[in-house]
Structure 1
């Protein structure tokens, strides 16, 4: 079972994704206040961060870059997601291991999670 930090400020989408992940055997902490992401990662151990690009008051790529520049958590796998055209290149450049465009099917989402964690293992 993987422990996932899900950073999603959209109330309904956050609940849907959390429920789907938990139904597939993952332990999920849902963060609705994006600025607390680093604090959460430093306080607890996670296997993966799922991070939306468009968050209230901050771009998820800033959080991604902050994670990459923070000792102790800089190597955690990050899967970013967005519905904006051209976001994949921006998210990967910010340090994301993988990207999934919105909207997505549950199976595609689950496969992206698996491949993100596998890519991170190979890269270590």
Structure 2
């Protein structure tokens, strides 16, 4: 069972995504305080981070860059999401492993998760 850190400060979206992930067999830690992402990753091991680009008080790409620049967690796969035009390029440039545009269908979301985790596992092998 893969363990996911879901960084989402939108209350309703966080609950919906958390429920969908758990229904599909993932163990999920829902983090509402984006600035604690690196701290959570340093304290526990996660197979994937899912993070929005727009978070309260901080751009998710800043957190993504911070993760990439923190040696012990720098290889943690990160799936970023956003509904903003041009966000894919910005997120990938910041170090995101993968990106999904909002709004998205649940099946596309789940496929992006699998693709991101598999890509990271294949890279480690």
TM-score scaled to structure 1, two decimals?
Answer: 0.98
Q: Does 1:41 align with 2:41?
A: yes
How far is 1:90 from its partner? 0.4
Residue number in structure 1 paired with 2:60: 60
Distance 2:63 2:101 in 1: 18
Q: Does 1:2 align with 2:33?
A: no
Deviation string 1:31-56 (CA, Å, 9 cap, x unpaired) is 11000000000111100000100000
What aligned pairs does 1:68-83 form with structure 2 within 5 A after superposition?
68-83=68-83
Deviation string 1:52-101 (CA, Å, 9 cap, x unpaired) is 00000000000000000012110000000000011000000000010000
TM-score scaled to structure 2, two decimals?
Answer: 0.97
- For structure 1, the residue ranges without an aligned partner over 5 or more in a row are none
Residue number in structure 2 paired with 1:112: 112
Q: Does 1:102 align with 2:96?
A: no
Distance 1:40 1:118 in 2: 22
How far is 1:121 from its partner? 1.9
Residue number in structure 1 paired with 2:84: 84
Give the total of aligned pairs: 124
Distance 1:76 1:17 in 2: 20
How far is 1:123 from its partner? 2.4
Q: RMSD in angstroms over aligned alpha carbons? A: 0.6
Distance 1:122 1:3 in 2: 17
